[in-house]
């Protein structure tokens, strides 16, 4: 077999392949022999028809089958012998049989980039000293106390910690964003920071029986997207004011949370949990910054075929969403293209870096993860292994663990820069 490899644009390689006539004839003879065995032609016993008749009847089909077989086998050999790392599906052109009986074709192949060395010097990570203030702990304690609180009706003006019961009647909705007009017996918690600010401010000072026109501007990030950013005016009738009675922050309260025996123990647990949460957030930010900086330092070319596959999957996922509507596919592809390029570039880089720095997943690493998985799911390590094997996630798990080890390696090598609050 003769193979000629030409450099195309970027990562494109053009292979000109010629399979010799001897090989073609051998394969064709095999298929003609098989066709003769199965041929049931009038005037001849099965398998006994003359070969020239078989060639005449089945020639086109055999030729097509041989072309298909030779294409697959010869392309694999050509790629392997020339040490090409295919990135996406090849494009086959100029398929032909020569006058001499040889089989020839041209394959346009996009290959993975050759990365001689991954650079990782001078990675800089902004790092904040993890601290948990007493005010933050108090805020969590107040949340637990609110869960154990009860409401008591009062005959006075509403304070900032009260819960008011109101009837709301929509009287102005300039943009017509709200379908419903009346809201009876609405419970509005003035002490909850998630309550719309205008409600908290404009209902404070009212008492049962009061009636007031209030104008509410909803935040642009309000949970109900239909009214996010809108300003709506209501006629508000206050039906009741309830005082929230909070339990004392003491050891008895701590026991009722089910998390500690004493208030001090509960505060320590909250501090530990809060610290762990902040560490997790900073770890995720560091990981994002590592990937971003590595892609900037190593601007390796990314196969267009892989980018197209990534964008195809994004478009397919969005199409499956119930609110996809008349999506602009072109806009989606343009928006996600930089994300796809960096995602694929990072994939290429971390695999190369793992080999470059001899980073690998050890049996002890896998064992540690499995033990943690087992503990988290209240099963034995043996059951965890069986579950992973059945799901076929073992290879995926090792890939994920190897990537995290590469990230850990880069994190340790990075220069930590204090982050100003």
Per-residue pLDDT of the chain (421 residues; tens, 9 = 90+): 899 999 989 999 999 999 999 998 898 888 888 888 877 777 777 777 788 887 888 888 888 888 889 998 999 999 999 999 999 889 998 898 888 889 999 999 999 999 999 999 999 999 999 999 999 999 999 999 999 999 999 999 999 999 999 999 999 999 899 989 999 999 999 999 889 999 999 999 999 999 999 999 999 989 888 899 999 999 999 999 999 999 999 999 999 999 999 999 999 999 999 999 999 999 999 999 999 999 999 999 999 999 999 999 999 988 888 766 677 888 899 999 999 999 999 999 999 999 999 999 998 988 999 899 899 889 998 998 888 888 878 888 899 999 999 999 999 999 999 987 6
Largest CA distance in the chain: 110
CATH tag for 150-245 (out of 2.60.40.10, 3.10.50.40, 3.30.310.50, 3.40.50.1000): 3.10.50.40
- The domain covering 276-418 belongs, at the CATH homologous superfamily level, to Trigger factor, C-terminal domain (1.10.3120.10)
Distance (Å, rounded) from C-alpha 221 to C-alpha 231? 14
- Give the number of other CB atoms < 10 A from CB of residue 235: 15
pLDDT given at position 421:
61
pLDDT given at position 54:
78
Half-sphere exposure of 180 (CA within 13 A, CB side): 7
Which segments of the chain belong to CATH 1.10.3120.10?
A: 276-418
pLDDT given at position 389:
84
H or E element that contains 189: strand 182-189
Which segments of the chain belong to CATH 3.30.70.1050?
A: 2-110
Backbone angles phi, psi at 239, to 5 degrees: -100, -30
pLDDT given at position 302:
95
Q: In this structure, what token pair is assigned to residue 40?
A: 């049931």
Which segments of the chain belong to CATH 3.10.50.40?
A: 150-245
CATH tag for 2-110 (out of 3.30.70.1050, 1.20.120.1200, 3.40.50.1000, 3.40.50.300): 3.30.70.1050
pLDDT given at position 380:
92
Distance (Å, rounded) from C-alpha 12 to C-alpha 348? 17
H or E element that contains 124: strand 124-127
- Give the number of other CB atoms < 10 A from CB of residue 23: 17
Contact 238, 166 (CB under 8 A): yes
Contact 75, 2 (CB under 8 A): no
pLDDT given at position 324:
64
pLDDT given at position 105:
92
N-terminal to C-terminal alpha carbon distance within the chain: 67
pLDDT given at position 325:
66
CA-based nearest residue to 350, from 395, 393, 417, 297: 297
CA-based nearest residue to 89, from 98, 79, 103, 104: 79
């Amino acid at each position: 077999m003769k193979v000629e490899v030409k450099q195309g644009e970027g990562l494109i390689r053009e292979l000109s392949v010629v399979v010799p006539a001897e090989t073609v004839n051998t394969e064709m003879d095999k298929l003609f022999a098989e066709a003769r065995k199965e041929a049931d032609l009038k005037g001849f016993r099965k398998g006994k028809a003359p070969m020239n008749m078989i060639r005449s009847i089945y020639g086109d089909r055999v030729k097509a089958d041989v072309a298909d077989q030779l294409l697959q086998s010869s392309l694999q050999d050509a790629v392997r012998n020339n040490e090409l790392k295919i990135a996406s599906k090849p494009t086959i052109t100029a398929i032909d049989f020569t006058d001499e009986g040889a089989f020839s074709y041209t394959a346009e192949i996009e290959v993975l980039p050759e990365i001689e060395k991954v650079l990782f010097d001078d990675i800089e990570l902004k790092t904040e000293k993890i601290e948990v203030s007493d005010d933050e702990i108090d805020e969590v304690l107040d949340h637990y106390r609110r869960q154990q609180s009860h409401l008591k009706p009062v005959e006075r003006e509403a304070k900032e910690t009260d819960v008011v019961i109101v009837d709301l009647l929509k009287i102005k909705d300039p943009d017509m964003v709200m379908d419903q007009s009346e809201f009876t017996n609405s419970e509005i918690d003035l002490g909850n920071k998630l309550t719309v600010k205008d409600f908290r401010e404009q209902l404070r000072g009212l008492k049962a029986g009061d009636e007031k026109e209030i104008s509410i501007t909803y935040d642009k990030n309000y949970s109900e997207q239909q009214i996010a950013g809108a300003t709506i005016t209501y006629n508000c009738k206050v039906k009741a004011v309830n005082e929230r009675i909070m339990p004392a922050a003491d050891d008895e309260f701590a026991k009722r949370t089910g998390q500690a025996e004493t208030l001090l123990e509960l505060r320590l647990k909250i501090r530990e949990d809060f610290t762990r949460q902040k560490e997790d957030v900073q770890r995720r930010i560091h990981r994002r910054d590592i990937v971003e900086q590595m892609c900037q330092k190593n601007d390796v070319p990314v196969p267009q075929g892989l980018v197209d596959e990534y964008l195809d999957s994004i478009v397919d996922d969005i199409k499956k969403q119930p609110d996809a509507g008349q999506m602009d596919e072109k806009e989606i592809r343009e928006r996600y293209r930089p994300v796809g390029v960096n995602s694929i570039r990072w994939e290429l880089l971390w695999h190369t870096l793992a080999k470059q720095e001899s980073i690998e997943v050890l049996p002890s690493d896998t064992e540690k993860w499995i033990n943690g998985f087992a503990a988290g799911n209240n099963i034995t390590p043996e059951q965890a292994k069986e579950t992973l094997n059945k799901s076929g996630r073992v290879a995926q798990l090792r890939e994920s663990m190897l990537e995290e080890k590469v990230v850990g390696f880069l994190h340790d090598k990075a220069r930590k820069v204090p982050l100003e609050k």
